[in-house]
Every structure is written in C-alpha cells, then in structure tokens.
Amino acid sequence: MSDALVMDRDEALEICARALEASTAEQTEVNLLASRSGLTRFANNHIHQSAAETNAEVLVRAAIGNQVGIASTNDASAEGLRDVAERACALAAAATSDEHFPGLPAPGEEPPTLHGNAATAAFGPAERAEAVRECISVASERGQSAAGACSADVWAHAVANSLGARAWQESSVAHVRMVFAGEDSSGYAETYAEDASTLQPRELAEVAADKCERSISPRAVDPGRWDVILEPPAVTDAIFHLSVVAFNGLACLEGRSPICGRIGEQVCGANITLVDAPLDPRGIRRAFDFEGVPRRRVELIREGVAQGIVHDSRTARRAGTHTTGHAGPASSTWGPVPFNLFLSPGEATVDEMVAATERGLLVTRFHYTNMLDPSAAVLTGMTRDGTFLIEGGEIVGGVRNLRFTEGLLEALSRVDMIGRNGWLDDYVWAPALRIRDFRFSGATEF
C-alpha cells in the first residue's frame, strides 16, 4: 500500500507517460500537480467558512522545432490527456518560431525525492477549527476581534519529458494568519511550516493581541528618514521583491536587474549574505523545477558582494551557462525566480535593537508592496497592523501607518543590527533588521 499523501510516484509518472504518448510533437514535456487543500476562515471571532479542494492539473509543453505550444487540463482521464496533448501540438504547429527555445533538458542528475509531512496531511477541518478556536479565545479574552485563516496543503509534483527525464516529489505547508482589531488599533501574526503540529496558534495569537493592545490610540508622526526596525515579516516581503527583479536570469539578460554588470561588486552592506537553498529544512523544500532539473543552491550575495543569479534552461542558453534548476511553469513569463531564500542571521534580539535606538520606528509588516523601479529595486508600500514609536530605547506607543519608498539595495547598505532568530513565509526565511535612515514618503489617517 502506498504511503503517498496525495499521489504516489508510479501513478503520477504514469499519467505523465500517457500524455507523452498522445503527443505527436518532436519534443514534449508534462508537468502534473496533484494537490489536496483545506482552508478555514474566520472573522469577528467566528468561523465563517471551511473548504476543501482536491485537484490534479496537467500542463503539457509541445515543441515542433522552435515552435512551442502549451495547454493544460485537470481532466486526467485517457480522453482528457489525449485532448490536452493534441491542443498543445496544435498550438505549437500554429506558433511563431521561438529563437530562444533551447530544447527540453535531457536526463541528468536525479533530484532527491522529497516526501510531505503526514501531520500536515492529517490536519483536517476539526484540527483547523481547534487551531482557530485557540486564536479566537485569545481575542475574546482581550476584548478584540479576530480575523484570519488556517490552511493545510499537500501536493505531489511530477515531471516527465520525451527525452527520458523523470522526477517526482511531495510537498506540504501549514499556515495560520490572523489580524486582531480594536477600536483604533490592530495586531498581526502569521506562521508557515511543513509540519502542522508545530504551528502553536495560541502563542501566535498572543503576539497579535499584544500588538493590537500596544498600538491603541496611535499618534501621527511625520514622514521622512527614520531609523527603523523591520520585524521578519516586513523583511521577507522586501527580500522576495528584491529577488524577483535582481537575481532573475531573464531580468539580467534584458538589462532590468539592479545587479546587471555588478557580479563580484559590493552591492550592499558587508553584513548581508543571501542564498537560495531549496533543500534547507528551515523552508518549504523544493527538489526540482518545472523542467525536472534539480534545484541548485545559489549564493546571491555574500558579505555584501553580488555572487550570482538563477537560471532556467532558456536563460542559461542565452547567457552561455548552465541552468540552476529555477524554471517556473512553461506558461510563466516571469523568468527564473529564487523561491527558497535565506538571509543570514546576526546576534541581536528585537528587544536589543529597540534598546539601542534613541528615536525610531518598529514595523511589524508591510502591506500592498509594489516595485516602482525594478532596475533600481525601489519598493513602495505601507506599514500595517503594528507600527510603533521608539524613544530613548523604549517603545512608547503606536503610530499611524506610513508609506515607504526605498531602494532595497541602498537600505541593505544601512543595516547595522541583524536579528538572531528568523521567520518563514512562503518563499523567504529572514531575521529582523535595524536600518538607518529608512525613507517614509507619506502618512495616513489610520
């Protein structure tokens, strides 16, 4: 009996093989994503939705010479697989020639086999409801209103191509997110984990409740340059945006990256080291990409010096190098993106950072972040759900939210304290940072 959480290797690769057999193209690639997801939402201290979804998506890329067609389906029957393969072939036959198509990757080093977490697979509606109950009970005890979501997802990913490449892996992620609200304040907390048994929702809820309570009656402060302590959720948001524009092989080839021509140069502070490490157990592990190529560990920044970028087979061919195993779905136009980012920690605690700050701001998280100028990595967004004024090394109260507009590499050149503990979101693990002269460009009324 298979111990697979969603779909075992043999079944997944058999579905891929049937789609390959139905293709008449010169080269064909098939991705299968089989998933089982559960979600419980709550608001106003009550659960208002519980949902479950099971799905299997098949993505076929067919190539006739340099003409490429892509089609997808979630019908894994024999007829559905024939149909999706025929559609991909028809689209390839009608496509214009793609001069940068490198052909599909031939079989190479076999990626490691990853398995999902059984506790996350078993984290069903009753378990999610119990986790939410703990969150709501904390909010009720504090006279606050809780809203958020608790989810658990497991999926299997298989890749096969007509050159003989084969790969299969399982992944899992459990997630709890909450915002606690008072009359004029709010507090946020969130966690991700491969293992649902490690979520600790009550402890997380206490964090959100404390932030909400401490930010009551927020005062207005003027925008401008502030010494700022960014807690890990704000840092992970900024680092992910930086990675998409800076270390993307396509962005570098097209001259849109802020590190174009700067590999080997100092691009930020010497205390900054950033790597993409797909198998690091602190993150949501990913063994291979959508071309079935093993994901490589890539040093992006070491001690402030730009070291490298990530590639898929397309950008690697154009750059005259090798893929690092960072291909996205064939339908994506983003190019290769690092999805397992780790910012090296330091020695400080957030309390120590606060104590060392004469006047500044503590930011819990960012909201509605957008890249204004990718070529300079200028990011803008808002603070949200816990922004505090620091005076004389102490937090003296909440402040109304501010808009920031800041060049990320320049900001990382002004980091003078780094936290010893990190936090994980979907794609980034990072500690807190204290940054001098962080630019806030506008204020709000809330």
What mean pLDDT do residues 186-205 have? 97
The stretch 245-265 carries a mean pLDDT of 97
Give pLDDT tens digits for 365-419.
Answer: 999 999 999 999 999 999 999 999 999 999 999 999 999 999 999 999 999 999 9
- The CATH topology of domain 9-201 is PmbA/TldD fold (3.30.2290)
- Inter-CA distances, 388 with 149, 186, 187, 239, 272, Å: 25, 12, 11, 22, 25
- pLDDT at position 2 over 80: no
Task: Find, among 191, 348, 343, the residue nearest to 280 by Cα.
Answer: 343
Q: How far apart are CA 387 and CA 389, in angstroms?
A: 7
Question: What span, in angstroms and rounded, lies between the C-alpha atoms of 442 and 221?
Answer: 10
Please determine, for residue 171, whether its predicted confidence score (pLDDT) is greater than 50.
yes
pTM of the model: 0.96
R_g over Cα of the chain = 23
402 in Cβ contact with 364 (< 8 Å)? no
Give the type of residue at 116. G
Helix, strand or coil, per DSSP, at residue 103: coil
For the chain, what percent of residues have pLDDT higher than 90?
98
- pLDDT reading at 76 higher than 70: yes
**How confident is residue 4, by pLDDT bands cut at 50, 70 and 90?**
confident
Residue 56's SS3 state is: strand
Domain range summary for the chain, segments of one domain joined by +: 9-201, 218-446
From the number of C-beta atoms within 10 Å of its C-beta (0-12, 13-18, 19+), residue 403 rates as middle
Q: How many CB atoms lie within 10 A of CB 320?
A: 6
16, pLDDT greater than 50 = yes
Average pLDDT score over the chain: 97
Residue 404 has phi, psi (to 5 degrees) of: -115, 150
Q: What integer is the mean pLDDT of 290-314?
A: 98
Neighbours of 203 (CB within 10 A): 12
Write down the pLDDT at residue 294: 98
Count the alpha carbons within 13 Å of 31 in the hemisphere toward its beta carbon: 22
CA distances from 31 to 169, 174, 251 (A): 12, 24, 25
What tens digit of pLDDT does each residue of 22-63 get? Answer: 999 999 999 999 999 999 999 999 999 999 999 999 999 999
What pLDDT sits at residue 258? 98
Asked if 263 and 302 touch (Cβ cutoff 8 Å), the reply is: no
User: How far apart (Å, rounded) are the C-alpha atoms in residues 220 and 202?
Assistant: 31
Q: Is the pLDDT of residue 346 over 70?
A: yes
- Residue from 167, 61, 23 nearest 107 by CA: 167
- Cα gap 431→433, rounded to integer Å: 7
Is the per-residue pLDDT at 282 higher than 80? yes
Residue 318 backbone dihedrals phi, psi, to 5 degrees: -65, -35
Q: How far apart are CA 32 and CA 72, in angstroms?
A: 10
Average pLDDT over every residue of 83-97? 98
Give CA–CA dist 317/295, Å, rounded: 17
Alpha helices in 218-291 (DSSP H): 232-246, 249-253
Judge whether residue 1 has pLDDT over 60: no
Do residues 78 and 18 make contact, with C-beta atoms less than 8 angstroms apart? yes
